[in-house]
Amino acid sequence: MSITGTVKVRCPGCNRSHDAALIQSINAQTEPALVDRLLAGELNVLACECGRRTRLEATVLFHDPERDYFCQACPGGEAAMTAGARAFATIAASTATRRLVPSLNALVEKVLILRADLVDSVVEVLKVILLASRGDDIDRVLLFSAIDREAGHLVWALPDQQRTLASALDGYTKLAATDPPKPGADELQIDRVWAIEAARKLTESGS
């Protein structure tokens, strides 16, 4: 069941008023078409007659019952994230995997990681290691985009440079085998901040 609402919005391009439909909940099992829309960047987008496309910022809850996985995208800053964390207490058992992300783009990445059968905490630590090994800024945005098991590599996007880069799948496999720090049941934000701390622990235990 997708919780769908309608909001009155004005196009920022031409100021026309629209009644826009909002999808705020996606069940990956029963609504695969909504997942496709999310991945295509077509979810909650206002497409105006003037040609302007505007992303509608709304909380979206993604649920994959098969994997007992929930991820909430809560755009709107710290207040939205706090509300999202509170909502988790009522929508998901603490035995489920629960993730909180600040944007729909971050939700897309989480879903891609899930579909690739990768573990997001390992992916986040791998990003820190990859950036460090490239001599890059470890705060640089690097997004997982695809896995090619046959070619044996992972594909990443560097949105600020509008390009992609590949890394050996082996790097992920080896890192996963070292049993890197795992998020606790109440750690909802598995992101760069979390990964830098986890990578630090990993280096300390390895030395």
Phi-psi region of 184 (alpha: psi -120 to 50; beta: other; left: phi over 0): beta
CB of 52 to Zn ion, least distance (A): 5
Which residue number, 16 or 134, has a Cβ lying nearer to Zn ion? Answer: 16
The tokens describing 98, both together, are 């629960």
* Nearest to 27, CA basis, from 19, 15, 36, 35: 35
Which residue number, 50 or 83, has a Cβ lying nearer to Zn ion? Answer: 50
Which residue number, 14 or 83, has a Cβ lying nearer to Zn ion? Answer: 14
Which residue number, 14 or 185, has a Cβ lying nearer to Zn ion? Answer: 14
- A 10 A CB-CB count for 8 gives 8
- A 10 A CB-CB count for 179 gives 10
CB 45 within 8 A of CB 55: yes
Which residue number, 17 or 207, has a Cβ lying nearer to Zn ion? Answer: 17
CB of 89 to Zn ion, least distance (A): 39
CB of 37 to Zn ion, least distance (A): 21
Q: Considering just the CA atoms, what is the radius of gyration of the chain in Å?
A: 18
CB of 10 to Zn ion, least distance (A): 8
CB of 40 to Zn ion, least distance (A): 21
CB of 46 to Zn ion, least distance (A): 8
The b/e string for 191-206 (b: 16+ C-beta within 10 A; e otherwise) is: bbebbbebbeebeeee
Which residue number, 9 or 87, has a Cβ lying nearer to Zn ion? Answer: 9
Give me the residues that bind Zn ion (CB under 5 A), please: 11, 13-14, 16, 48, 50, 52
Q: What is the largest CA-CA distance in the chain?
A: 61
List C-alpha distances in Å: 160 to 83, 140, 142, 164, 176. Answer: 29, 8, 9, 10, 28
